[in-house]
Amino acid sequence: MANTDKRRNWSQEDDYTLLKQVAADTPFAAEKGQLKRAWHGLADTLMACENFGRVVDGKKVQNRFLALVDEHRKFDAASTRLSGSDQQEKEKHMLLDDIVTLYDDVKIELQKTEEQKRSQGQDKKDKVEQGG
């Protein structure tokens, strides 16, 4: 098990293991109120993995995932400006392409669901006020 007293950077292998598990579990797609539990479950799964050498909790893996997403978005933006260059795409970036697309889709779907709930709540409130 890793030494918890010493601060270490995330290795490529740790990042890749995290991303594979995020792709499998999609903790960011958990229902409202269950996000924290989903990320903690993912952290527990990672800690049980032989090739994952870090001590983590739900917040740490969520923060690392969001940092990787942000880093990937910047990489994509820079890649589009480098037209004509022969860039070798790594497995990590291919995996992140898929996960970021799924992540964005889930965020949009959650926003739509919240808007529908608010709209339905307003409709019920209007009916009550009209005496119906």
Compute the distance between CA of residue 27 and CA of residue 8 in angstroms, rounded to an integer. 24
List, for residues 3-37, the tens digit of each pLDDT value: 555 677 898 899 999 999 999 999 999 988 899 99
Q: Is the pLDDT of residue 81 over 80?
A: no
List, for residues 86-113, the tens digit of each pLDDT value: 454 577 888 999 999 999 999 999 999 9
Compute the distance between CA of residue 70 and CA of residue 78 in angstroms, rounded to an integer. 12
* Cβ atoms of residues 40 and 56 within 8 Å: no
| pTM of the predicted protein model | 0.70
Question: What mean pLDDT value characterizes the chain?
Answer: 85
88: left (phi over 0), alpha (psi -120 to 50) or beta: beta
Provide the 8-state DSSP code for 10. P
Q: Is the pLDDT of residue 84 over 80?
A: no
* Cβ atoms of residues 98 and 91 within 8 Å: no
pLDDT of residue 68: 95
Alpha carbons within 13 angstroms on the beta-carbon side of residue 50 total 0
Q: What percent of the chain has pLDDT over 90?
A: 53
Compute the distance between CA of residue 79 and CA of residue 40 in angstroms, rounded to an integer. 33
